[in-house]
Structure 1
Amino acid sequence: MNKLKTFSVALLASAFASQAQDIDQAKKAIDAEQFESAKAILKSIIKENPSNGAAFFTLGNVYLTQNVEDSAKIYFQKGLTASDEANLNYIGLGQMDLDNNDVAAAQAKFVLATKDMKRKDFAEYVYQARAYMNAEKPDYKNAIAILNRAAIKNADDAQLQLALGDAYYGDSKQNEAYVAYRSAFQADNSLLRAKMQLGVLLKGAKSYDEALKAYEEVIAINPNYGPVYRELAETYYKIARNKPSQAAVNYKKAIGYYDKYMALTDYSINSRMRRADFLILIEDYVALEAEANKMIELDKVNPRIYRYLGYAAYENGNVDLALKSLESFIASPTNKVIAKDYLYLGLTKIKKGTSEDGLAIDSVAFDSGMKGLKKAIEMEPLAVQDLSDIGKKLFSQKLYKESAAVFESGASSPESTNYLDDNVYFGLANYYANINKKEGEKVDAIALSKADAAFDKVLVASPTYLEAYLYKARTNRLLEKDDLMVKNYEDYLLKTMELGAEEIAKPAVKTKFIECYNNMAASFANTDKPKAIEYFKKTLALDPANNYATESIKILKQ
Structure 2
Amino acid sequence: MNKFKIFSLALVASASVANAQDIKEAKKAIDAEQFQKAKSLLKSIIKAKPSDGEANFVLGNVYLNQSIVDSAKIYYLNGLEASDKKNLNYIGLGQLDLDSKNNAGAQTNFGLATKDMKRKDVNEFIYIGRAYINSTNPDYTTAVTTLKKALAIEPQNAQALLAIGDAYYGAHNQNDAYKAYRDAFTADPTLLRAKMQLGVLLKGAKSYDEAIKSFNEVIALDANYGPVYRELAETYYKWGRNKSSTAKVNMQNAITNYEKYLSLTDYSLDSKMRHADFLILVKDYKNLEVVANKMIAEDKVNPRIFRYLGYAAYENGNVDVAIKSIQDYIKVPTNKVIGRDYLYLGFAKIKKGTNAEGVVDPAAFDAGVADIKKAIELEPLVVEELADYGKALFGKKQYAQAATLFELGAANKESKNYLDDLVYYGISVYYGNAGKAVGTRDVEALGKAEIAFDNVLVASPSYDEAYLYKGRINNLLEKDDLIIKNYEEYVAKTTAKGAEELAKPATAKKIVEAYNSIGASYANTDKAKAVEYFNKSLAIDPANTYAAQSVKALK
Shorter-chain TM band: over 0.9
**1:300 and 2:297 are equivalent in the alignment:** no
* Range moving further from structure 2, 8-17 or 300-309: 8-17
Deviation of 1:548 (Å): 1.2
Seen in structure 2, the aligned counterparts of structure 1 residues 155 and 353 have a Cα distance that, compared at 3 Å, is farther
Query: Is the Cα contact below 8 Å between 1:185 and 1:191 reproduced in 2?
Result: yes
Seen in structure 2, the aligned counterparts of structure 1 residues 110 and 287 have a Cα distance that, compared at 3 Å, is same
1:32-181 equivalence runs, <5 A: 32-181=32-181
Equivalent residue, structure 1, for 2:183: 183
**Within 2, Cα distance between the matches of 1:105 and 1:353?**
54
Q: Which letter does structure 2 place at the counterpart of 1:534?
A: E
Equivalent residue, structure 1, for 2:500: 502
Deviation of 1:336 (Å): 2.0
Deviation of 1:138 (Å): 3.4
**Within 2, Cα distance between the matches of 1:312 and 1:505?**
51
Seen in structure 2, the aligned counterparts of structure 1 residues 100 and 318 have a Cα distance that, compared at 3 Å, is farther
**Within 1, Cα distance between the matches of 2:346 and 2:105?**
37
TM-score by length of 1: 0.94
Deviation of 1:478 (Å): 1.9
Deviation of 1:393 (Å): 2.1
**Within 2, Cα distance between the matches of 1:369 and 1:145?**
51
For the residue of structure 2 that corresponds to 1:325, the secondary structure is helix
**Within 2, Cα distance between the matches of 1:273 and 1:10?**
45
Equivalent of residue 454 in structure 2, options 456, 473, 480: 456
**Within 1, Cα distance between the matches of 2:216 and 2:164?**
24
Equivalent residue, structure 2, for 1:346: 346
Query: Is the Cα contact below 8 Å between 1:98 and 1:135 reproduced in 2?
Result: yes
Deviation of 1:552 (Å): 1.1
Equivalent residue, structure 1, for 2:13: 13
Q: Which letter does structure 1 place at the counterpart of 2:349?
A: K
**1:379 and 2:372 are equivalent in the alignment:** no
Equivalent residue, structure 2, for 1:414: 413
Equivalent residue, structure 2, for 1:522: 520
Seen in structure 2, the aligned counterparts of structure 1 residues 34 and 448 have a Cα distance that, compared at 3 Å, is same
Deviation of 1:538 (Å): 0.2
* Range moving further from structure 2, 392-401 or 488-497: 392-401
**Within 2, Cα distance between the matches of 1:102 and 1:428?**
51
**Within 1, Cα distance between the matches of 2:173 and 2:77?**
36
**Within 1, Cα distance between the matches of 2:396 and 2:106?**
53
Equivalent residue, structure 1, for 2:396: 397
For the residue of structure 1 that corresponds to 2:189, the secondary structure is coil
**Within 2, Cα distance between the matches of 1:26 and 1:177?**
26
Query: Is the Cα contact below 8 Å between 1:411 and 1:426 reproduced in 2?
Result: yes
Equivalent residue, structure 1, for 2:250: 250
Equivalent residue, structure 2, for 1:280: 280
**Within 2, Cα distance between the matches of 1:53 and 1:248?**
50
**Within 1, Cα distance between the matches of 2:341 and 2:321?**
14
Query: Is the Cα contact below 8 Å between 2:423 and 2:456 reproduced in 1?
Result: yes
Equivalent residue, structure 2, for 1:491: 489
Equivalent residue, structure 1, for 2:196: 196
**Within 2, Cα distance between the matches of 1:118 and 1:30?**
27
Deviation of 1:166 (Å): 1.3
Q: Which letter does structure 2 place at the counterpart of 1:192?
A: L
Equivalent residue, structure 2, for 1:388: 387
Residues 14-48 of structure 1, C-alpha deviations (whole Å, 9 max, x = no match)? 22122111111100011011111111111110110
Query: Is the Cα contact below 8 Å between 2:350 and 2:360 reproduced in 1?
Result: no
For the aligned residue pairs, the C-alpha RMSD in angstroms reads 2.0
1:416-495 equivalence runs, <5 A: 416-438=415-437, 440-441=439-440, 443-495=441-493
For the residue of structure 1 that corresponds to 2:359, the secondary structure is coil
For the residue of structure 2 that corresponds to 1:336, the secondary structure is coil
Equivalent residue, structure 1, for 2:219: 219
Residues 65-98 of structure 1, C-alpha deviations (whole Å, 9 max, x = no match)? 2233333233223222222222322333343444
Deviation of 1:396 (Å): 2.1
For the residue of structure 1 that corresponds to 2:420, the secondary structure is helix
Deviation of 1:197 (Å): 0.5
Q: Which letter does structure 2 place at the counterpart of 1:402?
A: Q
Residues 297-317 of structure 1, C-alpha deviations (whole Å, 9 max, x = no match)? 221211111110011011111
**1:361 and 2:384 are equivalent in the alignment:** no
For the residue of structure 2 that corresponds to 1:300, the secondary structure is coil
**Within 1, Cα distance between the matches of 2:313 and 2:401?**
23
Query: Is the Cα contact below 8 Å between 1:354 and 1:362 reproduced in 2?
Result: no
Q: Quick one: percent identity of the two aligned structures?
A: 63
Deviation of 1:152 (Å): 3.3
**Within 1, Cα distance between the matches of 2:368 and 2:99?**
30
Seen in structure 2, the aligned counterparts of structure 1 residues 181 and 266 have a Cα distance that, compared at 3 Å, is same
Seen in structure 2, the aligned counterparts of structure 1 residues 216 and 352 have a Cα distance that, compared at 3 Å, is same
Deviation of 1:137 (Å): 4.1
Deviation of 1:518 (Å): 0.3
Question: Structure 1: which 5+ residue stretches go unaligned?
Answer: none
Query: Is the Cα contact below 8 Å between 1:42 and 1:56 reproduced in 2?
Result: yes
Seen in structure 2, the aligned counterparts of structure 1 residues 503 and 271 have a Cα distance that, compared at 3 Å, is same
Q: Which letter does structure 2 place at the counterpart of 1:305?
A: I
Deviation of 1:236 (Å): 0.9
Deviation of 1:212 (Å): 0.8
**Within 2, Cα distance between the matches of 1:268 and 1:556?**
83
Q: Which letter does structure 2 place at the counterpart of 1:255?
A: I
**Within 1, Cα distance between the matches of 2:374 and 2:112?**
40
Seen in structure 2, the aligned counterparts of structure 1 residues 504 and 524 have a Cα distance that, compared at 3 Å, is same
Query: Is the Cα contact below 8 Å between 2:339 and 2:379 reproduced in 1?
Result: yes
For the residue of structure 2 that corresponds to 1:334, the secondary structure is coil
**Within 1, Cα distance between the matches of 2:333 and 2:111?**
32
Q: Which letter does structure 1 place at the counterpart of 2:69?
A: E
Q: Which letter does structure 1 place at the counterpart of 2:552?
A: K
Q: Which letter does structure 1 place at the counterpart of 2:525?
A: T
**Within 2, Cα distance between the matches of 1:394 and 1:105?**
55
1:528-539 equivalence runs, <5 A: 528-539=526-537
**Within 2, Cα distance between the matches of 1:373 and 1:186?**
52
Equivalent residue, structure 2, for 1:511: 509
Deviation of 1:107 (Å): 4.4
Equivalent residue, structure 1, for 2:266: 266
**Within 1, Cα distance between the matches of 2:63 and 2:449?**
51
Query: Is the Cα contact below 8 Å between 2:391 and 2:402 reproduced in 1?
Result: yes
**Within 1, Cα distance between the matches of 2:374 and 2:145?**
37
Deviation of 1:136 (Å): 3.2
TM-score by length of 2: 0.95
Deviation of 1:240 (Å): 1.2
Q: Which letter does structure 2 place at the counterpart of 1:494?
A: A
Query: Is the Cα contact below 8 Å between 1:359 and 1:398 reproduced in 2?
Result: no
Q: Which letter does structure 2 place at the counterpart of 1:368?
A: A
Seen in structure 2, the aligned counterparts of structure 1 residues 33 and 437 have a Cα distance that, compared at 3 Å, is same
* Range moving further from structure 2, 34-43 or 411-420: 411-420
For the residue of structure 2 that corresponds to 1:463, the secondary structure is coil
Deviation of 1:490 (Å): 1.5
Deviation of 1:101 (Å): 4.8
Q: Which letter does structure 2 place at the counterpart of 1:520?
A: I
* Range moving further from structure 2, 258-267 or 76-85: 76-85
**Within 1, Cα distance between the matches of 2:305 and 2:237?**
23
- For these two proteins, the number of residue pairs brought into alignment is 555
Residues 172-195 of structure 1, C-alpha deviations (whole Å, 9 max, x = no match)? 111111111111111111100000
For the residue of structure 2 that corresponds to 1:84, the secondary structure is coil
Equivalent residue, structure 1, for 2:206: 206
**Within 2, Cα distance between the matches of 1:408 and 1:391?**
10
**Within 2, Cα distance between the matches of 1:153 and 1:134?**
23
**Within 2, Cα distance between the matches of 1:99 and 1:367?**
40
Seen in structure 2, the aligned counterparts of structure 1 residues 86 and 449 have a Cα distance that, compared at 3 Å, is farther
